[in-house]
C-alpha cells in the first residue's frame, strides 16, 4: 500500500474524475508549458547574441585582417621593415602592405570625403573585400568603391571619378580613375568612405610608408613581439566596439538568471501544491514510518522529472527553430543597422550542458526552502 501511494505521488495525476486531480493536472501542464517557453527563450537569446558577435568579428577580420604590425613608436613602416618582418613569418602567414590617405572624390556636381586603401597587389591582399563585390571585379588598374558611395555619386562600373588632394583649402593634386567594381560589406562606414586600389593608381597622393596587416599567424609563437615590432589584434584596434558588444552580456545573463529562478519557483510551487492536496495520504504514510526526508525526496524527484521533460521539449523546439532559421533565413534585418540582412544565429549545443545543470542545482537549493516551509506549515 505504501508503494502504491508513493507511485501516485510521482505520477502526473491520471485520475481525471477527481476535481482536485484535474486542477493538479492543469497546473502541472501549465508549469511544463512555462518552463518549455523559458528554455526556448533562453536558447534563442544566447544564440542570437552570439550570432551578432560572430558577424561583427568576422566582418572586421575579413576587411581588416586579424593583426596589424607597428613599431614600438606606433609609426608607419617602410620597405626596409618588410624584410625584417617576413623573415620571422611562417609560410602560412599572409601579410599585406597598405597605405591609406584621406582625400576628396568628385563626380560632376557631387563630392564626398573618402579614405583610400592602397595595396601593392590585390592577389596578396589579406582583406576579403573581393568577396563583397556586387558588381564588377577587382584588378590592379581600377578602383573599387562602396555601394553607398556609388549611389551618392551616381556612378557604376566603368564610370570615372576625380580624386582630389586638398590641403588648407588648396588643391594640391588631381587625378581621374576608373571604377572597376562596387562592394557591399553591410558596414555603413566602409561602404560610404572606403576606396580600394593599387598603390600605383594613387602614386600622386601617397608616400612609401605602410601599415602591415597580417593573418593566418600564431602570435603566441611570434618573434615579432620580442623585437622592435608590435602585433595588435583586431580586438585591440577596435576595443571600444567590442566593449560595446560585451556590455550586453551582463544584462542578458541577469535576465536569463531571473527567468531560470522563476521557472524553478514555478515547478516547485506547483509540485508542493500537488503534495499538499495529498496530505491525507501523507499522514497515512507518516503512520507507516515515512520520514520527512522521504517526503522531501519525493517532491524533489517529481520536480526533477518535470524539469527534465520541460528541458527536453524546450531544447528540441529551440534548436529546431535555430536550424530552420539558419538555413531558410526567414527573418530579415536592415543591413546597415545590424551589419547583416538576415538574423544571425550561432548554434551551440553545449548550452544544454550549462543550462540544465544550472537549473538542476537551483532546483535543489530552492527546494530546501520550500521543504522547511512545508514541514513547518503542516507540522509533519
What gap in Å lies between CA 237 and CA 61, rounded to an integer? 11
Q: What are φ and ψ of residue 40, in 5° steps?
A: -60, -45
Q: Phi-psi region for residue 43, left (φ > 0), alpha (ψ -120 to 50) or beta?
A: alpha
pLDDT value for 12: 53
What gap in Å lies between CA 374 and CA 264, rounded to an integer? 16
Are residues 127 and 96 in contact, defined by beta-carbon separation less than 8 angstroms? yes
Handedness of CA 82, 164, 156, 340 (dihedral sign): positive
pLDDT value for 39: 93
Looking up cell 585582417 gives 65
The list of the chain residues with pLDDT below 70 reads 1-25, 74, 88-93, 124, 126, 168-172, 216-227, 374-380
pLDDT value for 16: 46
What gap in Å lies between CA 377 and CA 380, rounded to an integer? 8
User: Which residue intervals of the chain are DSSP H helices?
Assistant: 2-10, 19-64, 79-86, 147-153, 188-193, 234-237, 239-246, 249-277, 279-287, 292-328, 335-338, 352-378
Regarding pTM above 0.85, the answer is: no
Residues whose CB falls within 8 Å of the CB of residue 288, separated by 6 or more in sequence, listed in order: 1, 2
pLDDT value for 175: 85
User: What is the per-residue burial (b if ≥16 Cβ within 10 Å, else e) of 99-134?
Assistant: beeebebbbeeeebebebbbbbebeebbbbbeebbe
Are residues 211 and 199 in contact, defined by beta-carbon separation less than 8 angstroms? no
Amino acid at each position: 500500500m505504501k508503494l502504491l501511494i508513493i507511485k501516485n505521488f510521482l505520477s502526473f495525476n491520471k485520475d481525471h474524475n477527481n476535481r482536485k486531480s484535474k486542477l493538479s493536472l492543469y497546473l502541472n501542464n501549465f508549469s511544463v508549458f512555462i518552463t518549455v517557453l523559458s528554455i526556448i527563450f533562453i536558447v534563442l537569446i544566447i544564440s542570437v547574441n552570439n550570432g551578432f558577435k560572430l558577424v561583427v568579428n568576422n566582418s572586421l577580420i575579413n576587411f581588416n585582417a586579424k593583426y596589424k604590425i607597428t613599431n614600438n613608436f606606433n609609426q608607419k613602416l617602410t620597405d626596409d621593415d618588410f624584410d625584417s618582418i617576413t623573415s620571422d613569418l611562417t609560410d602560412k602567414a599572409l601579410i599585406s602592405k597598405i597605405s591609406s590617405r584621406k582625400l576628396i572624390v568628385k563626380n560632376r556636381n557631387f563630392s564626398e570625403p573618402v579614405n583610400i586603401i592602397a595595396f601593392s597587389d590585390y592577389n596578396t591582399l589579406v582583406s576579403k573585400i573581393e568577396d563583397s563585390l556586387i558588381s564588377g571585379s577587382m584588378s590592379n588598374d581600377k578602383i573599387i568603391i562602396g555601394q553607398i558611395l556609388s549611389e551618392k555619386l551616381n556612378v557604376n562600373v566603368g564610370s570615372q571619378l576625380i580624386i582630389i588632394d586638398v590641403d588648407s583649402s588648396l588643391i594640391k593634386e588631381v587625378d581621374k580613375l576608373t571604377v572597376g567594381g562596387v562592394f557591399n560589406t553591410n558596414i555603413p562606414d566602409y561602404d560610404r568612405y572606403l576606396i580600394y586600389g593599387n598603390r600605383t593608381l594613387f602614386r600622386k597622393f601617397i608616400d612609401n610608408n605602410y601599415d602591415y596587416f597580417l593573418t593566418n599567424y600564431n602570435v603566441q609563437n611570434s618573434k615579432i613581439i620580442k623585437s622592435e615590432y608590435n602585433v595588435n589584434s583586431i580586438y585591440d584596434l577596435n576595443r571600444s566596439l567590442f566593449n560595446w558588444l560585451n556590455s550586453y552580456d551582463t544584462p542578458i545573463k541577469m535576465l536569463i538568471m531571473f527567468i531560470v529562478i522563476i521557472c524553478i519557483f514555478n515547478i516547485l510551487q506547483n509540485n508542493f501544491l500537488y503534495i499538499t492536496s495529498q496530505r491525507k495520504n501523507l499522514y497515512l504514510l507518516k503512520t507507516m514510518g515515512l520520514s520527512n526526508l522521504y517526503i522531501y525526496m519525493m517532491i524533489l524527484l517529481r520536480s526533477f522529472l518535470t524539469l527534465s521533460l520541460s528541458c527536453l521539449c524546450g531544447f528540441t523546439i529551440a534548436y529546431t527553430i535555430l536550424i530552420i532559421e539558419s538555413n531558410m533565413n526567414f527573418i530579415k534585418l536592415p543591413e546597415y543597422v545590424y551589419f547583416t540582412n538576415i538574423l544571425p544565429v550561432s548554434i551551440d549545443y553545449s548550452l544544454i550542458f550549462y543550462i540544465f545543470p544550472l537549473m538542476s542545482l537551483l532546483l535543489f537549493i530552492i527546494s530546501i526552502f520550500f521543504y522547511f516551509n512545508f514541514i513547518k506549515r503542516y507540522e509533519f
